[in-house]
């Protein structure tokens, strides 16, 4: 996979748009079981990412991902900033400039491990890991773009009946059951946008 | 927001609410005066409720002591952002900054009291965490 400058800019814009356009939905999910700032926080972070264009897309893929991660760490706030930011930063550290699918599988695994360490969490606790981990399994298993996007959306849905063990929602105990995890929804939106853009690149 | 007294462990207070962070710092000052380096930070980058890494890094710098810095946090994001900030410090400082698993107000007061007696960073952290023990 080789992303030229135009493709990198398209990817960044798609990622940012996916979150910014759903900011109100993310906030209302977070109002149900968190502190209600998730949509606003993620929007602020990705607006800062957009503001770093076009220079951001001049960077090669690994450097660009690291820069996105650092921007999210500094701007998002909440626990999501360090968690999502760490994912991008570690992905940037682990990926070569022109990654193969195997590179992508290996790099996302490292990035997911870093998110687990940052949040001291595992899948099953109603966090973004409940999307990242199953999506990684589909990626590693050879799933195509559609399978990856579908798994991302379904994995976010599967957080609805879960009881939160980590994050602010865990304060609610059983009352966290019945609401989708906002962080999982954000990550599923990002994955959906990434897959759609990358598939476009592969097919053209 | 701070005073410099090198030698004693510095205390950083991180709350989602700037008012809570500042109020906790006021309580610390009342207990220990200027005997410990102290700084507080709270709020997201737009001034709303939340925490931010840049603010935490600045607070660590303000409260820096060769003996180290103990960070007291309120809720999840404050802890995650503080740990992120610690990792972003220069390598020689990283091991000398610890995030305490303690209630922010009580922990800050106890930690500062322990620090004012010249205790080590480990002892300061332990005292603060006895609240949860």
Alpha carbon distance A108, A113 (integer Å): 8
Domains of chain A: 5-203 (1.25.40.340)
**ipTM of this model?**
0.84
Task: List CB contacts (< 8 A) between A83 and chain B.
Answer: 80
Residue A90 Cα, gap to closest chain B Cα (Å): 13
Closest partner residue to B84 among A73, A166, A167, by Cβ?
Answer: A73
In this structure, are residues A20 and A195 in contact, taking their beta carbons and an 8 Å threshold? no
Would you say residue B65 lies in a domain?
Answer: yes
What average pLDDT does this structure show over B10-20? Answer: 97
Question: B24: domain CATH number?
Answer: 3.40.50.510
In whole angstroms, what is the distance from residue A70 CA to residue A86 CA?
8
Query: Would you call the peptide bond into A54 cis, given omega within 30 degrees of 0 as the criterion?
Result: yes
Q: What is the mean pLDDT of residues A160-165?
A: 94
State the smallest CA–CA distance between residue B119 and chain A in angstroms.
29
DSSP secondary structure code for residue B9 in this structure? P
Residue B44: which of A77, A119, A166 has the nearest Cβ? Answer: A77
When pLDDT is cut at 50, 70 and 90, the band that residue A78 belongs to is confident
Nearest to A35 by CA among B103, B44, B130: B44
- Within a domain: B130: no
Contact assignment for A77 to B52 by CB distance below 8 Å: yes
pLDDT at A51 over 70: yes
A178 in the Ramachandran plot: left (φ > 0), alpha (ψ -120 to 50) or beta?
Answer: left
How many Cβ atoms from other residues are within 10 Å of residue B114's Cβ?
25
In a domain, B133, yes or no: no
Specify the pLDDT at position B3: 47
Per-residue model confidence (pLDDT) at position A23: 97
pLDDT of amino acid B1: 46
Domain with B77, as residue range(s), is: 10-122
Q: Which residues pair with B38 in a beta bridge?
A: B11
Q: Which letter does DSSP use for residue B130 in this model?
A: G
B71-87 pLDDT tens trace: 999 988 999 999 999 99
Instruction: Please give the residue of chain B at the shortest CA–CA distance from A73.
Output: B53
Domain count, chain B: 1
Report, in this order, helix, strand and coil percent for chain B, each rounded to 5: 50, 15, 35
Whether pLDDT at A85 is above 90: yes
Regarding predicted confidence, which is higher, A170 or B8? Answer: B8
B13 φ/ψ angles, rounded to the nearest 5 degrees:
-110, 125
Catalytic residue among B10, B11, B16, B53: B16
Asked if residue B2 is part of any domain, the answer here is no
**Residue B121 pLDDT more than 80?**
yes
* Contact between chains at B81 and A40 (C-beta distance less than 8 A): no
Per-residue pLDDT, averaged over A83-92, amounts to 98
Q: Write down the pLDDT at residue B133.
A: 60
Contact criterion met (CB below 8 Å) for B56 and B85 = yes
- Mean pLDDT over all residues of chain A? 94
Confidence of residue B16 (pLDDT cuts 50, 70, 90): very high
Instruction: For A187-199, write each residue's pLDDT tens digit.
Output: 999 999 999 998 8
Mean pLDDT, to the nearest integer, of B36-45? 95
Q: Per-residue confidence at B58, pLDDT binned at 50, 70, 90?
A: very high
Residue of B15, B17, B54, B76 best to disrupt the A interface, most CBs of A under 10 A: B76
Q: What is the dihedral of CA B80, B85, B88, B93, to 10 degrees?
A: -120
pLDDT tens, position by position, B41-54: 999 988 899 999 99
Q: Which residue of A has its CA nearest to B75?
A: A168
B-chain residue closest to A168, CA distance: B76
Q: Which tens digit of pLDDT belongs to each residue from A93-111? A: 999 999 999 999 999 999 9
Task: Flag whether pLDDT at A204 surpasses 60.
Answer: no
- Asked if B34 is an active-site residue, the reply is no
Domain assignment of residue B4, yes or no: no
* Whole-number percent of chain B with pLDDT over 70: 94
Q: Do B44 and A119 touch (CB under 8 A)?
A: no
Instruction: In whole angstroms, give the CA distance from residue B38 to residue B30.
Output: 12
């Amino acid at each position: 996979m080789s992303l030229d400058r135009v493709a990198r800019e398209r990817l960044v814009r798609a990622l940012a748009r996916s979150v910014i356009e759903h900011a109100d939905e993310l906030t209302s999910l977070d109002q149900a079981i968190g502190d209600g700032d998730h949509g606003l926080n993620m929007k602020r972070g990705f607006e800062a990412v957009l503001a770093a264009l076009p220079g951001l897309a001049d960077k090669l893929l690994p450097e660009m991902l690291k820069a996105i991660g650092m921007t999210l760490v500094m701007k998002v706030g909440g626990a999501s900033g360090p968690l999502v930011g760490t994912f991008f930063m570690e992905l940037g550290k682990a990926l070569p400039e022109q990654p193969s699918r195997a590179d992508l599988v290996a790099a996302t695994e490292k990035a997911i491990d870093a998110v687990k360490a940052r949040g001291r969490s595992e899948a099953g606790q109603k966090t973004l890991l409940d999307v990242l981990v199953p999506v990684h399994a589909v990626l590693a298993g050879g799933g195509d773009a559609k399978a990856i996007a579908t798994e991302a959306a379904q994995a976010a849905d599967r957080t609805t009946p879960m009881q939160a063990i980590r994050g602010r929602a865990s304060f609610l105990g059983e009352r966290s059951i019945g609401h989708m995890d906002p962080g999982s929804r954000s990550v599923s939106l990002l994955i959906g946008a990434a897959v759609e853009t990358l598939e476009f690149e592969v097919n053209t | 927001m701070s005073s410099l007294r090198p030698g004693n462990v510095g205390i950083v207070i991180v709350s989602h609410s700037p008012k809570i962070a500042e109020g906790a710092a006021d309580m610390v000052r009342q207990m220990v005066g200027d005997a410990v380096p102290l700084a507080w930070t709270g709020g997201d980058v737009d001034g709303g409720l939340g925490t931010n890494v840049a603010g935490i890094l600045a607070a660590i710098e303000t409260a820096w002591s060769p003996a180290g810095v103990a960070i007291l946090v309120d809720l999840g994001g404050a802890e995650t952002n503080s740990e992120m900030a610690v990792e972003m410090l220069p390598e020689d400082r990283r091991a000398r900054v610890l995030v305490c698993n303690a209630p922010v107000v009580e922990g800050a007061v106890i930690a500062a009291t322990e620090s004012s007696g010249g205790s080590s960073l480990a002892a300061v952290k332990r005292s603060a965490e006895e609240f949860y023990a």
